[in-house]
Chain A
Amino acid sequence: MTCEEALRRLYEVIDKEASEIDVKEVQEHLAHCENCMARYEFEAMFKTFVCDKASSSPKADDLKKRILTRIDESEDKPNRFFNRPFRYQAVIIAAAAALILCIVAAFSVAGYYRYHTFIEPFENCHMAGVQAYRTSQADDPAIDPRDPEVLAFLQKSIPVTVNDSMPGFLMIGSCLDNIQNCRFAHFQYAHDQSLVSLFVGNDDGINLPGFEQVTIDGIDFYQYTCKSCQIMYWKENGMIMVAVSEDKTLELSEIRTVLSAI
Chain B
Amino acid sequence: MSKKETFEAEAMIHVDSLYRTALRMTKNEGDAEDLVQETLMKAYRFWDKFEEGSNCRAWLFKIMTNIFINNYRAKSRAPQVVDLQDVDDDFLFGQLSALGPSDNPEQHFFAKVFDDDVKGAIEELPEDFRLVVVLSFLEGFSYQEIADIAGLQIGTVKSRLHRGRKLLQKALWDYAVKNGFIKETAR
Instruction: Give the complex CA separation of A17 and B143 in angstroms.
Output: 7
Other-chain residue from A7, A42, A60, A83 in contact with B36 (beta carbon distance below 8 A): A60
Tell me if A54 and B122 are in contact (CB < 8 A). Answer: yes
A64 within 8 A of B: yes
Stretch at the interface among B51-59, B73-81, B112-120: B112-120
Other-chain residue from B15, B23, B96 in contact with A67 (beta carbon distance below 8 A): B15
Tell me if B15 and A43 are in contact (CB < 8 A). Answer: no
Q: Interface residue count for B (Cβ, 8 Å)?
A: 44
A87 within 8 A of B: no
Q: Interface residue count for A (Cβ, 8 Å)?
A: 35
Tell me if B41 and A71 are in contact (CB < 8 A). Answer: yes
Closest A residue to B39 by beta carbon equals: A67
Instruction: Give the complex CA separation of A50 and B138 in angstroms.
Output: 8
Closest B residue to A15 by beta carbon equals: B136
A256 within 8 A of B: no
Tell me the B86-124 residues at the A interface (CB within 8 Å): 89-90, 92-93, 96-97, 106, 110, 113-115, 117-119, 122
A53 within 8 A of B: yes
Tell me if A63 and B122 are in contact (CB < 8 A). Answer: no
Tell me, rounded to whole Å, the shortest Cβ–Cβ distance linking B179 to chain A.
15
B142 within 8 A of A: yes
- Using known A-B contacts A54-B138, A63-B37, A67-B37, determine if residue A75 contacts B4 with beta carbons closer than 8 Å: yes
Count contacts between A and B, CB distance < 8 Å. Answer: 96
Tell me if B143 and A67 are in contact (CB < 8 A). Answer: no
Chain B binding surface, main DSSP class: helix
- Using known A-B contacts A15-B136, A46-B92, determine if residue A54 contacts B119 with beta carbons closer than 8 Å: yes
Please, which residues of chain A bring their CB within 8 A of the CB of B148? none
Other-chain residue from A12, A42, A57, A68 in contact with B23 (beta carbon distance below 8 A): A57
Please, which residues of chain A bring their CB within 8 A of the CB of B8? 68
Closest A residue to B24 by beta carbon equals: A54
Tell me if B16 and A59 are in contact (CB < 8 A). Answer: yes
Please, which residues of chain B bring their CB within 8 A of the CB of A39? 90, 93
A66 within 8 A of B: yes
A/B interface sample: 28 pairs, CB < 8 A:
A11-B161, A12-B158, A38-B93, A39-B90, A46-B169, A49-B113, A50-B118, A50-B138, A51-B137, A51-B138, A53-B113, A53-B118, A54-B122, A54-B137, A55-B138, A56-B115, A57-B16, A57-B19, A57-B23, A60-B19, A60-B33, A63-B15, A66-B37, A67-B37, A68-B12, A70-B37, A74-B44, A74-B45
